[in-house]
Amino acid sequence: MLNIPGWVYEKISPIYSSALSYLSYVLMLIYFTLRRNLVFNSWLLILGIFYFGIGSLVNQTFITESTLTYLILIVKYFITIIGGYQVLRDTSKSELLLILIIGCLTVFLQIFIFYNPLTDGSRYSGFYLNPNSLGFICIMGYGLTFSMDKNWKLIGQIIFTIVGFLTFSRTFIIVWLLINVLAIRLSIKNIRTLLVGGVLLIGLITYNSFLPNSNARLDAMTKIFEGKSKNTSKLEEGGRTETWANFYPFIYSQPIFGNGYGAFSGNGVGGAAGVHNAYLKVIGEAGIFAFLIFILIFIMLIKNSYDIFLNQPHLFLMSTGLSLFLLTNHNYFDSGYVLFFTMWLQFQTKEQIDK
């Protein structure tokens, strides 16, 4: 959940990273063997069989990994959804919140200690290496705070909001706004969090000298805020809709079984950039059957969590955030923390409905 192996790979050594990664999967298997009353996530099992099965058989052109590496990737997925599912069943809201806060605070280690001007750029990601990934963690944490008591809710919301803004992720800002609007249904007092967030954003725009590098999006917001410019091109740069459009013809040409595993990743059918949309990636690589399973998982998750929204609001808010994040990110089957949140939300929602 903290992406420590990934960070170690980039910053220290691939050897240590591999050791940590394999250790985490071994621990999940050990936990699985020791856990009584095993429960399996049948939806993600079926999804994995359809996605990897169809994607592998249809076309192997875009499988850039060696056969062994590709098989290891598949094995890791199934270990995560089988062994990891048992771990998440025993993970409480408080434990998860603590992990997410620690993960978010690693952004300050990057800014003040580990910042590398040659590789880190002007957006900040902490141990997650990708600003959008850290933005996702902040989205999940922010939604989770609505299950906490008053003090932890306030502390968590301030931390996740500040760190989320530091990622300069448009997805985070949009989902953060949506979560706060939805939360008004719980209490009109929740409108105050929008005001607090606005103050924090203005503070970041005004006092950002502590950041080690200038950010184009922040500069654009600063100039707009100061009335020096009305140009929003930097805020709109790199929009996803244009990226998605490059892949539509390939979906239309192979709608039943897709174009094969890896076709919608970088250097696939759409060029150097991947599709940056998990839904399009599934239908584009494994076809309509895998896509229907995938989309049904999230339709059910959102519907079921909405049914208990007034009693357990965090589940619907987090499910909505997860579903929207996948519109702008195509790393699903190889992203441990995205899979973990999917499973945790499925289990928690089912537990509440069955009460």
Question: What are the residue boundaries of the structural domains of the chain, listed by start?
Answer: 1-34, 39-82+240-355, 91-237
> What is the model's pLDDT at position 227?
53
pLDDT the model gives residue 280: 96
Terminal-residue alpha carbon distance, the chain: 28
Q: Which residues of 72-101 are buried (b: 16+ CB within 10 A; e: fewer)?
A: eebebbebbbbbbbbbbbebebeebbebbb
Number of Cβ atoms within 10 Å of the Cβ of 173: 18
pTM of the model: 0.91
Residue pointed to by tokens 């020096």: 228
**Is residue 183 a contact partner of residue 313, using CB atoms and an 8 Å limit?**
yes
Query: Two tokens at 121?
Result: 């750029």
Q: What is the pLDDT of residue 216?
A: 63
Contact 109, 126 (CB under 8 A): yes
Assess contact for 329 and 148: CB atoms under 8 A: no
Which positions of the chain have pLDDT values less than 70?
Answer: 118, 120-121, 207-239
Separation between Cα atoms, residue 341 and residue 85, nearest integer Å = 10
Q: Tens digits of per-residue pLDDT, 47-70? A: 999 999 999 999 999 998 888 999
Distance CA 255, CA 248 (A): 10
